[in-house]
Amino acid sequence: MRCTVQKYMWGKFGCDSLVAAIAKNNDTDLTVTVEVPPAELWMGTHPSRSCLGAVYGMPPPGAVRRAVDGHPPLGPNGDGGGGSSTRLPFLFKVLSVRTALSIQAHPNKTLAAKLHREKPQHYKDDNHKPEMTIAVTPFEALCSFQKINSVLENCRACPELVAVVGREAVAAPAALHTSRLREAVVVPALKRVFTRLMTAEQARTVWELSRYLLHHLVLEPSRNCLGTVWELSRYLLHHLVLEPSRNCLGTVWELSRYLLHHLVLEPSRNCLGTALFLNANEPHAYLFGDCIECMAESDNVVRAGLTPKFKDVDVLCEMLTYDDGPPYMVPPLLIDGGAERYIAPVPEFLVDRAMVEAGGAVLLPASPFVSIVVVVEGRGEL
């Protein structure tokens, strides 16, 4: 198949881009410009970006759908996941991330159907979008809320954030240390802080950051909050001087570090390492690196902050689970034949990965439904 390439400002340029390298080997019609770099390589049958080109010698357009038409089962339920034998139940992607994506979450099926019905121009389908991310290079991401105690302590230790969300929002509830009623204590506390941050007036937030930097760099340098000062200085230099037209959207992302887990997914020589699974209604933002991403066949994204795309802040703040547990990590399982398997807790997809040494071989197991194989690096015989 000939794959579709999506270009966004957060993508990597030139030889640093895994997306560009695979697209070139895939004979994809890709023109790399200095204005908007390639960011995503799509493999699948989603109506927004269905793969084009020759499959088994068939001409475009719609070749992939014709190739799979009449050859069920494509998915675990004997269809394409959406009731059609011409649709794959999953969407497979390669991402090359240079700068942070928007803070976002994906709706469950009930909310997806509602959003698609009410705002079809922004939500192109009615499906949920659980997804799994596997690092190809060291891959950074923000995801899922830290424990409520850590969130409130982080916030109280960050004067500029307290000034933005309000002192009462970061005050620990009286029952925090004794109550086990998550819905009554943890969820309201996290929701209050997150919503205040997502809906804060950008100009006020930038003023608070500037005042904080002036105090700690000039008036009271002995306190040495170097990590925070460096991060905020870099942000202010970039968004206020180098790129003022972005309207300070990055402020929300910078301060979200105090609320969400910061992960670095590490690949290794013999295996890709642990994968990150993101279920419906979990906040996340990718920061840097190259990855393989597999998800249910959907393009539904609810965004807030750091994006020129459509933002739906109220929906995002209302839809989140506000779980304060650890991120959902998926370790690989070694299976017969030498491949590794990442099993997601959803029926639409799983991912196998094979590292073939020179002169060696790996047996790819039979798949329960139609598969897509992508060569990330090297050459070989299939």
| CA 203 to each of CA 150, 210, 229, 240, 250: distance values in angstroms, whole numbers, following the listed order | 27, 11, 19, 11, 12
Catalytic residue among 196, 257, 303, 353, which?
303
Does the annotation flag 216 for ligand binding? no
**Integer CA distances (angstroms), 5 to 51, 123, 133, 175, in order:** 10, 20, 18, 50
Contact yes or no for 63/57 (Cβ under 8 A): no
Give catalytic status of residue 303 as yes or no. Answer: yes
The rounded distance, in Å, linking the Cα atoms of 83 and 75 is 10
Q: Is 106 annotated as a binding residue?
A: yes
Residue numbers belonging to the annotated binding site: 104, 106, 131, 284
- Residues identified as active-site: 303
Positions at the binding site for Zn(2+): 104, 106, 131, 284
